A and B are shown apart, each in its own frame.
Chain A
Amino acid sequence: MVPTAYYLILAAMLFSIGIAAFLIKRNVITIFISIELMLNAVNLTFVAFAHMWHQVAGQIFVFFVMVVAAAEAAVGLAIIISIYRTRQTLNVDALDRMKS
């Protein structure tokens, strides 16, 4: 049986990669994907712990996260399209309107 620590290390690596990509990349879509990567890294830890403690709650959490992520993907992609339509760019550095 694979020790739980391995799963956690993998999850940590995935999460770090997600963060790194989020911070480094400029394309909104890439950033969006990196968020998905982080979410799934978290999902992996949930599943790992659920397996370790033989409890189903972690699995249920994962389903919730997936549902929310799907909804988020739908909304997020819509926002990205809308941004592209108005600004003709997907470079996040150009999207600094929040600094009023």
Chain B
Amino acid sequence: MSAVQENYLWLIPLLPLAGFLINGTLGRKLPRVVVSTVALLFTAAPAAIVAWLWVTMCSAGAPDAIEVVSRPWIAITGLTVNFAFNVDHLTLIMLAVVTGVGFLIHIYSVGYMAHEEGYWRFFAYLNLFMFFMSVLVLAANFLLLFVGWEGVGLSSYLLIGFYFKRKSAANAGKKAFVVNRIGDLGFLLAMFLLIVHFGSLDFSQIFDSITQHPEWQAQGAHFLPAICLLLVLGAAGKSAQIPLYIWLPDAMEGPTPVSALIHAATMVTAGVYMVARCHVLFNSSPLALTVVAIIGAVTAIFAASIGMVQHDIKRVLAYSTISQLGYMFLACGVGAYAAGIFHLLTHAFFKALLFLAAGSVIHALSGEQDLRKMGGLRTKTPITFWTMSAGVFAIAGIPPFAGFFSKDEILYRTFTSPNPLHITLWIVGLLTAGMTSFYMFRLWFKTFFGEQRAEQQEGSVHESSWIMLLPLVVLAFLSVVGGWIGVPSVLFGSNHIEHFLDPVFANPGAAEVVASTSGHGLELALAVISVLTALAGFYIAYLFYYQKPGTAAALAERNRPAYALVSNKYWVDELYNVALVTPLLMFTRGILELVVDRGIVDGSGAAAGATIRGLAWLERKQISGNIRSYAGWLAIGAAVVMAVMIFGRLHWGTL
């Protein structure tokens, strides 16, 4: 049985790659129907394999993990790296998200991109992304993970810049790429340190040797925190956390399905996945865990505050994504990896849904993205409205929608964690929950309620086609019920997902111990508080944007400096420009371009040219055509040779 599984395992990444190769090379000449058939087929098949894999791995007696190892990929003294895939329950969840949500978004894209130029290019890139993302989650060592990591970065770059004729899109792609490079530097350095200290990049080997050497932690070995912090830098780049979050809002320049797939559901969660995958490493360094928690909490509230005042529907969702990723980081930081992965799963459902629904809204309004010009779409686009409502309620944390359970789990785990900052982190998380609820309902009211403010004709506002609505309905269903796999025991559930992930996060963290002792009363109280916060967010949004529209504007008018601060995104982009980009540009232009490039590189070229020219001039003088001058040169040459032979022997011995 297992040999069969192993063979199918390779197909999960390779099928999308085949789709990419077909569409990427022949797609230009193929009709659109064929292009979409290829793209859908080569993503549906891995999804089916993953479903089958899920069933086999959950059956009784199935192993906790399957590993497939190829012949060595890199084999040098002291280091061997294989193409190795590893499937455990964590990978299964990630694979399900990647292939399942990915496939739904592929379906949606067929409708959304129907009238776009470069249709084949879009699907080729999308399949390429699926390839790299499955490599990323399947990888059994850091290097292969890094291959996927870089690959998804590449496809993200290609897809953000899909409308490359628009300068802003091209720039956004570059920004995403460059910012990710900074994070990747951290990842690379972490890998170097791992090679130095463990002589391996294999997950299981590294984690085993850490568990076998508890004295490292006791003696305060410096390399463990160093590796963790470098990995955090990498994760912060990919998962858009402070200080490297700035690329994600700009990434919204890409087509909406891309935002849904790459910049909400899958790629940006790679950092969270990586931290969870390396939980053994992180558990060995309380410092790194605290850093993760603080980064997560600060990012969550920071991005949420920006999201409250954005006017572009996709940007609101982008900041919301950053904020929710902050939650996942917070969960990992307090050692509640299962809760983080749970939120990753539910977030993939409802955020993909929100983006796709937003895409449907934008489609209905023929490209309008400004919330101020929307409104009253409830009756015009009923299915989009109902599905998006499911997403909004889910992210806002209203029970029994999916987001409530995962977010509540994170908040509860934060509150009960042994981290000295746990109360502060919990308060920040709670405030963020309220803000999340507020800005999502703000978006909801502004888009679907009130009067229609769109500048176009009444009749042209239309519901999207069924091929776009179908994924919305499926995702809406998942956003409603997706959380039920993690219902805590206090609410008469069995927290299935936590037990599902037990084989992976088997090392019982301190949080677990506290959780079992602190009793159900606290858990229930915390859940009630977070629901009340979410409802408060809803109520404020209702007051501001439904009952008395204009209240918010008046409030903003009264607190002008604060509003300006938030609506300009705390001037972080500008700050980075002044503090980093401008000095860097000055350095490149002043030193690298003027001195190194023009001076040394171009200069040495010019000098070589001038030397050759001078020599050639001499040579030209010499080749006069005059026989006697040739003879003269010959005689001089002979004389020199003879002089060297005679006198040189005296000077330098035998020559």
Interface of A with B (CB < 8 Å)? 19, 22-23, 26, 31, 92-93, 95-100
Interface size class of B (residues with CB under 8 A): under 10
Known pairs A99-B625, A99-B626; list 6 more (Cβ under 8 Å): A26-B628, A31-B627, A93-B626, A97-B625, A99-B623, A99-B624
Q: Can you sample 15 A-B contacts with CB below 8 Å?
A: A19-B631, A19-B635, A22-B628, A22-B631, A23-B628, A23-B631, A23-B632, A31-B627, A92-B628, A93-B626, A96-B626, A97-B625, A98-B625, A98-B627, A99-B626
Q: Please give the distance in Å from B33's CB to the nearest CB on chain A.
A: 68
B620's nearest neighbour on chain A, judged by CB, is A99
The answer on a CB contact under 8 Å between B628 and A93 is yes
Q: Per-residue CB proximity of B622-655 to A under 8 Å, as 1/0?
A: 0111111001100100000000000000000000
Contacts of B626 in A (CB 8 A): 92-93, 96, 99
Contacts of B632 in A (CB 8 A): 23
B627's nearest neighbour on chain A, judged by CB, is A92
Q: Please give the distance in Å from B604's CB to the nearest CB on chain A.
A: 33
Contacts of A31 in B (CB 8 A): 627-628
The answer on a CB contact under 8 Å between B635 and A23 is yes
A34's nearest neighbour on chain B, judged by CB, is B631
Q: Please give the distance in Å from A59's CB to the nearest CB on chain B.
A: 25
A35's nearest neighbour on chain B, judged by CB, is B631
Q: Whole-angstrom distance between the alpha carbons of A22 and B630 in the complex?
A: 11
Contacts of B628 in A (CB 8 A): 22-23, 26, 31, 92-93
B638's nearest neighbour on chain A, judged by CB, is A19
Q: Per-residue CB proximity of B9-44 to A under 8 Å, as 1/0?
A: 000000000000000000000000000000000000
Q: Please give the distance in Å from B584's CB to the nearest CB on chain A.
A: 56
Contacts of A23 in B (CB 8 A): 628, 631-632, 635
Q: Whole-angstrom distance between the alpha carbons of A31 and B624 in the complex?
A: 18
B624's nearest neighbour on chain A, judged by CB, is A99
The answer on a CB contact under 8 Å between B624 and A96 is yes
Q: Whole-angstrom distance between the alpha carbons of A12 and B628 in the complex?
A: 21
Contacts of A92 in B (CB 8 A): 626-628
B625's nearest neighbour on chain A, judged by CB, is A99
Q: Please give the distance in Å from A38's CB to the nearest CB on chain B.
A: 11
Q: Which 8 A-B pairs have the closest CB atoms?
A: A99-B625, A96-B625, A98-B625, A92-B627, A23-B632, A96-B626, A22-B631, A19-B635
Contacts of B627 in A (CB 8 A): 31, 92, 95, 98
